[in-house]
Amino acid sequence: MKAFLDYIPGDSPLHRLNPLSKFTISVAVCAACFISTSPLVLCALIVLDLLLAALGHIFTFALKLLRGLAGLSVFLFILQVLFIRTGRPLFTLFSGFPVTTDGIMNAARLVLRLTGSMLPLAVMLSLTKLNDLSGVLTWYLHIPYKYAFMLTTAIRFIPVFTAEMESIMEAQTARGIEFDTKNIFKKIKLIMPLCIPLLITSVGKSDTTAVSAELRGFERRNRHSMSVIYPLRAPDSIAFVFSAGLIAAAAVL
């Protein structure tokens, strides 16, 4: 079964793009999200994220991710609205929390930025093999292999640890711990002791990975050790121009 952020194989135009181009596009969309202050532009960037996902044939995955982010977004929106006091008051909630124009605008901006900047990274990671990503970071951006490997390993471990946490929760539910409760606060309280088995497994896994890498000559690897060449082609040039245009448009609009 595919886990979150696992590479989704395919032959779409985005799959064929150089990993550096995909990385540049996703960074450009993120940057545009933080440069722009207009909620309309931020909405357009989210639509662009979905279009990119459709171009990569992972539209369903992007929609699922968007649905997942919606819960977090609602929570953050409510928090922002409740605690921002500046601006023109519109009405009062829970007899003591005035909802203001600034509160709504800032909350909307925060939520749209969060969604708009998370989606392109997830889409890029789902369309790029992590080895290829570390390869181009080392080759084109001259990032030392050690750091590129560290970045991609950290990303690679996200689905691994997610699966591990799910297994730990299964094991504890089987012991009668009420993880199947609908009460979110009770669930959070129950999760705390599980940090111990997760931490122990994580440290063990990291240690095994480090030893295994050392045994395979990790210290001697550098940009000249790459076995794959990632040439830049015409579509990559278009991607770079598109990324630059996107940042410029976000600054202007």
Residue ranges that bind other proteins, judged by CB under 8 A? 1, 164, 167-168, 170-181, 193-194, 196-197, 200-201, 204
Nearer to other proteins, 98 or 197 (CB): 197
Determine contact, residues 56/15, Cβ cutoff 8 Å: yes
Q: Min. distance of Cβ 49 from other proteins in angstroms?
A: 24
Both tokens assigned to 184: 């979110």
Q: Min. distance of Cβ 9 from other proteins in angstroms?
A: 17
Nearer to other proteins, 208 or 222 (CB): 208
Q: Which residues of 27-63 are buried (b: 16+ CB within 10 A; e: fewer)?
A: bbbbbbbebbeeeebbebbbebbeebbbbbbbeebbe
Nearer to other proteins, 174 or 184 (CB): 174
Task: Count CB-CB contacts under 10 A for residue 5.
Answer: 19
Nearer to other proteins, 203 or 251 (CB): 203
Q: Min. distance of Cβ 181 from other proteins in angstroms?
A: 8
Tell me the C-alpha distance between 246 and 11, whole Å. Answer: 25
Q: Min. distance of Cβ 211 from other proteins in angstroms?
A: 17
